[in-house]
Amino acid sequence: MKKTGFSLIEVMMVLAIMGVAAVGFMTFMRNQNKTQKTIISSGEINILVNEVRGHLAKEEICVKSFKGFRITKDKPVPVEKILKFNDEVMYEIGKIYGDANVTLSSMSLVDFDTDSKDGLSGRLKLKLALERNAEVYGNKTINRTINLDVMLDEGELLVDCYPAGMQRAIDNSSKIKELQQMQEAVMQLMEKSQKGDSGVIPKKEESRSNQKEVESSDRPAQKEEYREAIPQLPDNLQITEEQMQQGLELLKQMMEKMQQGE
């Protein structure tokens, strides 16, 4: 009599093959999940670093967050937080960002490299240590840096800063343009003071009229002298907030004196 079906050995072989396949599939899925989390966390790190750089590029944010820190070439300066314009905290160490995948574990100002003879201005790096919370490939902690252009006072305390090559350059050019407009206003007042308030030569006496004609012929030369007396601002000039205010105040005082006829 012929029997049909599987023998015990055949069943065991099938179960063994299925077990190996199941283990392989589970390992594959686990690796796929790990790869996906690695990609997500890397993307969130890039987004966070760009957000921090963009936030520091806003007017006064970099100075508000780091002003008064003593900067030395070889000694890292720990940073606990980055502020908003209203002095509230925007980024803080120990906080989780993104979709709970990245922790800002530490911040520090490092590697000051001066670019001036007096050693009071140069390039500084903001180092961010970012910890990936998920199970990922590679290192759990990733270090990223943001380059900052900074100015120090004579006591090596930070007084001005902004991310290298970002919005502050645009803000700086607008300040230069404002100063140039003030210069033009001063020139117009100078020319007006030569003519009189009405801009018309008064006809009181013939000799006075002749004198005015001589003065009028000399005005182009005088105008050039005034222009030479007022320094022209180069387009790539770097101006701090304090220097900007001092320049505007000086020009305003000049305008007031000319309006008063001094």
Residue 65 has pLDDT above 70, yes or no: yes
Rounded to an integer, the average pLDDT of 168-187 is 61
Please report how many Cα atoms fall inside a 13 Å half-sphere around the Cα of residue 83, on the Cβ side: 13
What pLDDT does 229 receive? Answer: 47
pLDDT at 218 over 70: no
Structure confidence at residue 15 as a pLDDT band (50, 70, 90) = confident
Q: Check residue 201 and give its pLDDT.
A: 43
pLDDT tens for each residue of 16-63: 787 777 777 677 677 777 787 888 888 899 999 999 999 998 888 999
> Which is higher by pLDDT, 4 or 26?
26
Q: From CA 148, how far away is CA 168, in angstroms rounded?
A: 11
* CB neighbour list of residue 94: distance below 8 Å, 6 or more residues apart: 103, 104, 105
Element at 116 (helix H, strand E): none
User: What is the spatial distance between Cα 113 and Cα 150, in angstroms, rounded to a whole number?
Assistant: 10
Q: Compute the average pLDDT of residues 129-145.
A: 87
How far from chain centre, in Å, is Cα 91? 16
* pLDDT given for residue 220 in this prediction: 52
Q: CB-based burial of residue 113 (10 Å sphere; 0-12 exposed, 13-18 middle, 19+ buried)?
A: exposed
Pairing mode, strands 89-92 and 81-83:
antiparallel
- Mean pLDDT for the chain overall: 75
Q: Which residue has the higher pLDDT, 235 or 257?
A: 257
Q: What average pLDDT does this structure show over 117-146?
A: 88
Query: pTM above the 0.85 mark?
Result: no
- Can you give the C-alpha Rg of the chain in angstroms? 34
The pLDDT-based confidence of 199 (bands split at 50, 70, 90) is very low
pLDDT at 118: 84
Cβ atoms of residues 77 and 108 within 8 Å: yes
Quick one: DSSP state of residue 103? Answer: E
